[in-house]
Amino acid sequence: MVLAGERYVDHEVLKTFAQNKVNVPKEEAAERRRQVNHLRERLETHIAAHPDYNLVKLRASGSTAKHTAIRRRGGGSDADVAAYVRAAVDIDETTLLDWLRDRCIEVYGETKVAEDFVISRHAVGITLRGTGLKIDVAPVLYNGEPDDQGYLVTRQGDRVLTSVTLHLQFIRERRKKAGPGYPELIRLLKAWIRTSKDRDPDLRCKSFLLELLVAHLWETGWNGEPLQVNDYPRAIEQVLAYIARTGLKSPIVFTDYYKADEVAQSWEPIQVWDPVSPENNVASSYTQEHRQRLVELATTALDSVAWAAVSPTKGDAYDAWRELYGPTFPGA
Q: What class, spelled out in words, does domain 26-162 have in CATH?
A: alpha beta
Distance of alpha carbon 81 from alpha carbon 60, whole angstroms: 5
First-residue to last-residue Cα distance in the chain: 30
Say which DSSP state 277 is in: -
| Torsion from C-alpha of 225, 230, 236, 239, nearest 10 degrees | 40
**Tens of pLDDT along 149-168?**
999 887 777 888 999 999 99
| Side chain identity at residue 51, one-letter code | P
Residue 18 CB neighbour total at 10 angstroms:
20
Distance of alpha carbon 168 from alpha carbon 238, whole angstroms: 25
CB 152 within 8 A of CB 159: yes
CB 248 within 8 A of CB 294: yes
Helix-then-strand count for the chain, H and E:
10, 7
Residue 138 CB neighbour total at 10 angstroms:
23
What pLDDT score does 205 carry? 97
Handedness of CA 184, 151, 258, 288 (dihedral sign): negative
Which residue ranges of the chain lie beneath pLDDT 70?
A: 1-6, 50-53, 73-77, 87-89, 331-332
| Torsion from C-alpha of 125, 76, 168, 217, nearest 10 degrees | 150
What pLDDT score does 6 carry? 62
What pLDDT score does 187 carry? 97
Handedness of CA 11, 272, 152, 48 (dihedral sign): negative
What pLDDT score does 5 carry? 45
Fold adopted by 11-22+168-325: Poly(a)-polymerase, middle domain (1.10.1410)
What is the DSSP secondary-structure string of 119-183?
A: E-SS-EEEEETTTTEEEEEEEEEESS-GGGEEEEE-TT--EEEEEHHHHHHHHHHHHHHH-THHH
Say which DSSP state 265 is in: P
**Tens of pLDDT along 10-61?**
999 999 999 999 999 888 888 778 878 888 888 778 777 766 667 788 888 8
Where do the domains of the chain lie?
Answer: 11-22+168-325, 26-162
Report in angstroms the alpha-carbon separations of 307 from 6, 225, 294. 12, 21, 20
Q: What angle do CA 190, 242, 181 make, to 5 degrees?
A: 45
